[in-house]
Amino acid sequence: MIRSMRPVIVAGNWKMHSTPADAGELARVIASRTRAPGVTRVICPPFVCLAAVRDAVVGEDVAVGAQDVHHDRQGAFTGDIAAAMLEGLATWAIVGHSERRRYHHETNEMVGEKAHRALEAGLRPILCVGEDLEVREAGAHVAEALVTDQVVHALALNPGAVAAGLVIAYEPVWAIGTGRSASGADAGAMAAAIRRAFRQVPEAGDGDAVPILYGGSVTAANADQFFAEPEIDGALVGGASLKPDEMAGIVARAALTAAARGLAG
């Protein structure tokens, strides 16, 4: 698939922010201010806010996503949420976010299983991969090897993942909250490495067809350099996704990419 055929996606990850009392209004404002032809919009609020956001964006062509799913179908896992429990609440799910890998010690195998459960339940997974500062400082080849390993582990459990709707988000953990910044070229190079990783697991699908998002402190001010990269197909937005002005700016820039790809008609 040529890049002009890949969708342009902007997904907002609200993390542990908002409550059922205010999430609906925030989602409504963001949805109304980010209408743009050719851009797929997704809002991922906390679990307790899924219903409020779902109801708030009815008729807005905005998808709702969960921030995580458990790697088992069901069981004695207090406080966890199985993918099947999200039926009617969400159609997307983030798996393997860097904060989950770091603070909840999620392994590549667990993340692959989470992606599998999401696909099994009809959810479109956003698989997050990325390297930390120590790995980045060891050299680009070391960073690419680690990210490739993350991708391959996930794909091995998910034949046909691309056709089923897999999306990958590259998070340069070394550039989040460290005072360092990733460039569009950094993101583009890693996205190309991610596509090459699919050659190791051909049954997962065509790496050129999978949408790859950039997920490292995206703002309206820096989005252009990432969306200009031919290997990048949108953004997974963190803190800025809680700010309607920022989201409006990011989606407006994404719309330019969608128009250039002929997706805005």
Question: Would you state the pLDDT for residue 153?
Answer: 96
Confidence class for position 184, pLDDT limits 50, 70, 90:
very high
pLDDT single digits (tens) 138-173: 999 999 999 999 999 999 999 999 999 999 999 999
Under 8 Å between Cβ of 225 and 183: yes
Structural domains in the chain plus CATH codes: 3-260 (3.20.20.70)
Confidence class for position 1, pLDDT limits 50, 70, 90:
very low
DSSP 8: E
Question: Would you state the pLDDT for residue 180?
Answer: 77
Question: Would you state the pLDDT for residue 5?
Answer: 84
Residue-wise DSSP of 124-158 = EEEEEE---HHHHHT-HHHHHHHHHHHHHHHHHT-
39-44 and 212-214 strand pairing: unpaired
Determine which one of 97, 113, 116, 144 is catalytic: 97
CA 185 vs CA 7, 49, 182: distances in Å: 20, 36, 8
Instruction: Give the span between the Cα atoms of 147 and 142, in whole angstroms.
Output: 9
What's the token pair of residue 253?
Answer: 């820039």
8-13 and 234-237 strand pairing: parallel
Range 88-97 average pLDDT: 98
Residues 6+ apart with CB under 8 A from 105: none
Angle at 70 between CA 68 and CA 72, to 5 degrees: 155
Q: Per mean pLDDT, which range of 15-24, 170-179, 229-238 is the poorest?
A: 170-179
Is the pLDDT reported for residue 72 higher than 50? yes
Determine which one of 99, 106, 131, 171 is catalytic: 171
- What is the enclosing helix (H) or strand (E) of 236? strand 234-237
Rg (CA), the chain: 17
What's the token pair of residue 261?
Answer: 């790809």
What's the token pair of residue 84?
Answer: 């099947």
- What is the enclosing helix (H) or strand (E) of 187? helix 184-197
pLDDT single digits (tens) 3-42: 558 999 999 999 999 999 999 999 999 999 999 999 999 9
97 noted as active-site residue: yes
Paired with 12 in beta bridges are: 43, 237
Range 220-226 average pLDDT: 96
Question: Would you state the pLDDT for residue 136?
Answer: 92
- What is the enclosing helix (H) or strand (E) of 10? strand 8-13
What's the token pair of residue 186?
Answer: 């950094």
Question: Would you state the pLDDT for residue 4?
Answer: 52
Axis-axis angle for helices 244-260, 23-33 (nearest 10) = 40
Instruction: Give the span between the Cα atoms of 151 and 157, in whole angstroms.
Output: 11
